[in-house]
Amino acid sequence: MADPVFRIGCGAGFGGDRLDAAVPVVDALAEAGGPACLMFETLAERTLALAQLERAAGRIGYDAHLEGRLSPVLKRCLDHRIAIVGNFGAADPEGAAEAIADLAKRLGCRAPKIAIVGGDDLLSGSNDADLAALLATGVPAGERVISANAYLGAREIAAALTGGADVVVTGRVADPALAVGPIVAHLGWDFDDCDLIAAATMAGHLLECGAQVTGGYFCDPGFKDVDGLEAIGFPICEVSADGSLVVTKPRSSGGCVSERTVKEQLLYEIHDPAAYLTPDVVLDLTAVEVREIGRDRVRVSGAGGKPRPETLKATVCYEGGFVGEGEISYAGPNALARARAAMETVKRRVDKDLKFRADLIGSTSLFADDSGLLLSARELPESRDVRLRIAVAAKDRRAVEAAIYEVGALYTCGPAGGGGVRTSVRSRVSTGSVLVPRASVTPSYRFHGDA
């Protein structure tokens, strides 16, 4: 009898995620033996623009950690027919496919059938003047667009998998689509069945941030204790033909799956819970039920769906000038007063036209606002170990460097006992968001090696 459950595991929840995360997930999927897929989400909002710049500079335009992520699991996935779907193609899905084919050869695997999903890149090969004008509304006047990518849905991923792909490489797709594609392809669901697509989207939403649903970004000692964060198990979702889901993780891994972890991730980055917009469906979470049915096993049901929106979201990236940071520390008696004196000293020395922010780390930093209202409005918590942080931003790199140079000069010109100066200046990519009509976007897929 065929296994009625389709399992989808997550091997990465963002571009900086652990490189060994997928190994226990693939072990668990292989051990379970039924049909399964492994997804990787490695693209943040501005990652694509950074990748585009890397590619333009002649360096790697796909996920720089692609090989590190896939090396430990590629052979086992191919041997067990566990399809791999990832947005690790970034700005160069073709290059990523080439790298995977090459890696498979070096690892002595059978040659994988690799599909490439394209059409998200709205700048390449398009001479649609209306589209160009629309994208320009996403950046301030006079700025040059570095990248513009639409968030694609899951249809091309599903079609590629139905066509026999072992690996599907994408650029920008909506994160949940990395799960929706495989689920729909395997269970044979209809993209017009809104409630089922909603269930698949909810699965993708729960999986897309990796360990965030298995006890990561969750632990609060004494309140929400989590063991084994150093070996946290990445999530696996079991999807049944009726659309019900069970979230779990590999046995003997760290972390936990509980009603609490699932509820937190369910609402992560959600605005109106009755209308979470994705390219494949409008997801309604208001009737969702979350129930623990066993150790590290949580059933999630009740997702509702409405037809997909008529527009696709696109992220537009442009050069955002330069950001500089400088830090210096003060400790012991009167540390806060000395750090404040240092802050005032730098503030008086730097160009008033620069965007400027100061933090008194150890007393007041993360909760404060850029305009400095919180820092000046209330009595600051005392601390005997304060690190002054200055941050400045401007279009002109030299202006930023000159301001940050002032932090180092505090060694001799500033208050007593200042130590541990660190400074950095880096370029920055800014982003804007535009809604694009579906007619302006042409998603497609093809197999690597085909003409």
Q: Which residues bind another protein (CB under 8 A)?
A: 45-46, 217-218, 220, 222-225, 260, 263-274, 285-290, 302, 320, 323, 355-357, 359, 361, 365-371, 373-374, 377, 389, 391-393, 428-431, 433
Spatial CA neighbour of 291 closest among 259, 265, 254: 259
258 secondary structure, DSSP code: -
Of 197, 284, 296, the closest CA to residue 246 belongs to 296
- Least Cβ distance, residue 345 to another protein (angstroms): 19
Cα–Cα distances (Å) from 52 to 89, 149, 186, 287, 306, in that order, read: 11, 11, 33, 41, 35
Nearer to another protein, 248 or 258 (CB): 258
Query: What CA–CA distance (Å, rounded) separates 46 from 434?
Result: 14
Question: Nearest 5°: CA angle at 183, between 1 and 285?
Answer: 120
Q: Name which of 201 and 431 has its Cβ closer to another protein.
A: 431
Helix H or strand E encompassing 24: helix 22-32
Token pair in block for residue 74: 């590629």
DSSP 8-class letter at 110? P
Least distance from another protein to the Cβ atom of residue 268, Å:
5
E strand map for 241-281: 245-248, 276-277
Given a contact cutoff of 8 angstroms between Cβ atoms, the answer to whether 235 and 206 are in contact is yes
Whichever of 302 and 408 has its CB closer to another protein, that residue is: 302
Q: Minimum distance from CB of 343 to another protein (Å)? A: 14
Nearer to another protein, 240 or 430 (CB): 430
Q: Which is nearer to another protein, 184 or 300 (CB)?
A: 300
Amino acid at 207: L
Least Å distance between CB 112 and another protein? 35
Q: Least distance to another protein from the beta carbon of 428, Å?
A: 7
The residue (of 246 and 266) whose beta carbon lies closer to another protein is 266
Residue 65: C-alpha distances to residues 17, 41, 62, 265, 301 (Å): 10, 12, 9, 25, 35
Minimum Å distance from CB 333 to another protein?
26
d(CA 339, CA 336): 5
Following CA atoms 184, 188, 192, 194 in sequence, which dihedral angle do they give, to the nearest 10 degrees?
A: -60
Pick between residue 117 and residue 390 the one whose CB is nearest to another protein.
Answer: 390
Determine the Cα–Cα distance for residues 143 and 318; give it in Å rounded to an integer.
7
Minimum CB separation of residue 171 from another protein in Å reads: 19
For another protein, the closer CB: 163 or 302: 302
To another protein, the closest distance from the beta carbon of 80 in angstroms equals 34
Decide: helix, strand or coil at residue 246. strand
